Amino acid sequence: MRSLSLRLSLLSMVVPSVACASGAALYEQLPINGDPSMQALSQEFGDAADFNIIAADDFTVPAGPGWNVESLASFFSTGNGSGLDADGIRWTIWADVGGQPGAEVLNVLGGAYDVNTGLADADLTALGNEVELSPGSYWFGSQIIGDISTFGQEFQLGSNDGGGSLNFLWNNPGGGLGLPTGWVDANGTINPGNGNPFSDVTNLAFSIGGSIVPEPATLGLLALGGFALVFRRKNAR
């Protein structure tokens, strides 16, 4: 089995083109950081379960009516040059609890990953998994699914954006990568093996697409408009 690393090999990096999720952009943590060291492993290994790791980054739904999330996108580089598009992608949104992921709001498998462009995206409408988010703080995660022996490692790209937000967090439940237990601020946690942070990344590149949830007053006006239209048609007969 190939050895696993938390850092990307500089020689085999594939830099993706920037693309946004379909639908209106509700949130974009872009542009992508082109520094090869600014990448974070986020992958589910069928042949090395102890090394499964997910990266999560925070975002905020502002005060107001809330969001209807219809599409998601993130950006990856392949660390071992497999040239294959992986077995799938897991997309997760968590509610924030005390500055880290809490209860899952969304957990869905699907979408597409193009190893040539680095774009991973999912149409939640087509998958039947649109999710409505009320104002508040949340965490976003995308995880490539693929065996290390077949696909090598896939690294989610960092972003130059994210100022004022929390650092991204890692979780390696099986402990195979030597991270502390639970959700870890990889940039703010020192690796005892070398005295450096586990990761140079602070924020991940991703985007969320969809629509603004109509406010109750707007829904009421739409209902009244529909009633008025029916009333006029009946009187016209």
pLDDT for residue 38: 87
The type of residue at 46 is G
pLDDT one-digit tens code per residue, 91-139: 999 999 999 999 999 999 999 998 888 899 999 999 999 999 999 999 9
85 domain residue, yes or no: yes
Give the model's confidence band at 86: pLDDT under 50 very low, under 70 low, under 90 confident, else very high.
Answer: confident
Residue 18 DSSP one-character state: P
Report the alpha-carbon distance of residue 201 to residue 157 in Å, rounded: 9
Report residue 51: phi and psi, to 5°: -100, 0
19 domain residue, yes or no: yes
165 domain residue, yes or no: yes
Report the alpha-carbon distance of residue 81 to residue 52 in Å, rounded: 19
3 domain residue, yes or no: no
Counting the structural domains of the chain, the total is 1
2 domain residue, yes or no: no
pLDDT for residue 1: 46
144 compared with 198, residue with greater pLDDT: 144
Domain of 162 in residue numbering reads as: 10-236
The token pair at 160 is 């130059």
116 domain residue, yes or no: yes
5 domain residue, yes or no: no
Report residue 12: phi and psi, to 5°: -110, 20
Q: What is the pTM (predicted TM-score) of this model?
A: 0.84
pLDDT for residue 224: 42
Report the alpha-carbon distance of residue 20 to residue 129 in Å, rounded: 19
pLDDT for residue 193: 82
User: Average pLDDT over the chain, rounded to whole?
Assistant: 83
The token pair at 187 is 């940039």
> Which residues have CB under 8 Å from 214's CB, separation 6+?
65, 222
